[in-house]
Structure 1
Amino acid sequence: MEKISGGSTFSGLSRFPSNAKWRVPPSADLQAILSSGTVEESVVHSRVRRLLERMYREGRLCSATSATDIGVVMNEIFPMPGQLDQAAYERYIDPADRTMVYHSVRDAYTTPNTANRANLGTAMQDAATTALAVSNDATGLRAVFGPTEWSTAQAGYRLIHNRLIAISADIEHRISTDYNLDAEETFLGRWASFDDQHIHLLSRVVSDPLTPQSKVTLLHEASHLAASRIDDYGYYGSPGFEAAEEATKVNNAAHYEELPRRIWGISRYAGQTFTPGLSSSGAPLTTEEQIRAEGVEYYRLAWDAAANFDKLIKDVRRNQLDGTPLDGATVARMLEVSPLMDLTLHEQMISPPEVTGLDITTSESIVRAMGMAMRNVPNVPNVMPMGSFLSAADEIAAGVSLAVDAAMAAYGGLLGDAARDRRLVDWLHDHYRNVYP
């Protein structure tokens, strides 16, 4: 669901359901960080503890424990200064499980295995056939995109058809995937680069592409390649999705999913006519519904930016492994973000800093937290602000602020301080599409 602008910045990231766990570095990586002396031992301990606390929050540590026992766990793992007890560590973390331990930054971006390519090509051709079919459904196009923009959407579907056919013939060079499960961890289902005409897919889509949901993914990403105007302005099924304005719908990749979903039997809105400003019930959106819709969007932008930064430091890590020097602007951006996220980069005693396994897994956990908080927005209580407001827009803005804080609190907090959590969310939101220097 994403485009990458200029081949470097995610231009809209698409979320995908995930059952992945928080991840931590392998024991050897942690011991190497301790032994290097480039990061204070207390910093290493604090970052590991926070990751374990987040894993505990999802009930995913291997051994039964409790939040108050994390201190005991830490004492077992780090029994002496400068040492990590591998056996103790692996009582809680399965070292062979990629959903628990971060293995390879290189495997996070690679070409689909040859065995997966035939079905992937078939799925793309199936999705292309469906895109062409719905382009001829004038009634359906009017119902979803409206009387003014339906013909623009028709042209969009025909371009989507063409892109899917082209990519299906060159999977080796036009498709990449993630066998390291980074995308699972961060809810990043896929992205697309209009400039490069390239799609990056979740490994489960590559390995099982013929399902309706996988074909929706392929069609969605191809919509980003069809026209540079087609971006992400709200995900499928998000609050207010069916009430979007025509100009938004015709430029939003998720709306191009709807008619194919109806054919494939997985639509949430089968048979409905989308009317701007009206919910599925036919009533105008209430102030509370508008607050929740905008709260979800606030976190979507923050999550998008967090995923971009996560990609940035993983790119840096690959470059460091290859011996490629860092430019000053990238170092400056990493050092700007590091204290906001509690990475180790600003704590290191070397320059430029080295992206460690702790930085990668901590960054992943930040992206994941933004996605989980976004999921909380539709259900958190007390988002209606008290008092009088000069305008409806002011009331909605005040409500969105309440919703943003409440959603993070419902998640359980991120950095141990609500004010710091909000500063991070706001920084990410404000740097949407502007993370790369």
Structure 2
Amino acid sequence: MGSTVIAIPDGEAVAPVPKEKKRFRESLLLVVSFLREKKNKHDTKKLIHSIKVGIALVLVSLLYLLDPLYKQVGENAMWAIMTVVVIFEFFAGATLSKGLNRGLGTILGGGLGCLAAAFAQEVGGVGNAIVVGTSVFVFGAAATYSRLVPRIKKRYDYGVMIFILTFNLVVVSGIRAEEVLQLARERLTTIVLGFSVCIFTSLLVFPIWAGDELHDSVASKFEDLASSIEGCFEEYFRLVNEKENQPSFSFSRCKTVLHSKSKDESLVNFARWEPWHGKFGFSYPWARYLKIGENLRDVAATILSFKGCLQSDRQTSQTLRELIKEPCEEVGSSLAWTLRELGDSMKKMRRCQTVTSIMPKLKSMRQELSLVMSPSTLGLLENGDGLEIASFLFTLTVMVDKVEELTKEVEELGELAHFHV
């Protein structure tokens, strides 16, 4: 069979890629590589956690598999397995928190339950049922009410729940006081064994610390906000394309920071339970991270308020924006630099030279914005244009104030946590 040769004509010269598209592609590649790196790192942690849980389950299963151990604990070995399944959490601090809560709840609930059961046996007859019912009502109601107290619910909710469960199981068991004490002792022993296996595996085998996660998470938010500021300003002052009504800039990073409150509170709660490790000693000021997180969310909310300027139906012409472009871009780049400097100082745990560098910079930003917002400048604009630009400048001024508050919080954290100079 003959073959047909198809001639391919020389292609025309490829048009050069515009600088804006090239810059967008480079930014997109950086974001994708960053997300891929974070995903791989998190997947590795999840794999380590899964392996650790498997190891802990194998260790407690030896209570069933080895005859000498089984003769000591018998069927109560199931409580050790249940303890591992229930309290083994992703972070070491969460495991320690749940384990201590379960232990304290079991001891208090079992102890008070034994006393109530023994007293009911002494009373005997109808009084037995009255004592049991009254004790169940009083302790159950009091413990349930304590679970509704915010401070107790945040740190000890699981322990109070275990207290209620253990107390009721012991009191209404209906067996003799001697057997109650023996049963409580055997179950407590197996629970302690399960707790010990969890703590050993969680703290000594590639521990995943909530404190490290919280520290890195808060430090990374500074970079997210700095990038958002730069992208927002670039979008606002770019050439206006009449065919494009919606802005291409995404506020996803700001929204992520804005919705991080519950995660930060959980990590702080777990970190408080963790022992000394790495860079974090005893009585480390974890509460300061909540204050810094709150200030970061304020900055993120201020950046999101620029969305109204970007998506406004009545856009100011590019010529009018050029009047404020240079000073505003200078302020925006200074804010981004400040946030990166603060984030870097937190990440490396070094004192940030706020007095000599950042604070004077913020003061000069205010002076520049006050000159731009003067009536002589805004009076040259039409009413609608002046209002829109005044709104943009006012939001920018608010952002400078928020960053100044954030700078003070980071400086105070450095003093309390003894960051190196």
**TM-score higher than 0.5 here?**
no
Quick check: which has more Rg, 1 or 2?
2
TM-score (norm 1): 0.26
Q: Which has the higher helix share?
A: 2
TM-score computed with the length of structure 2 as normaliser: 0.27
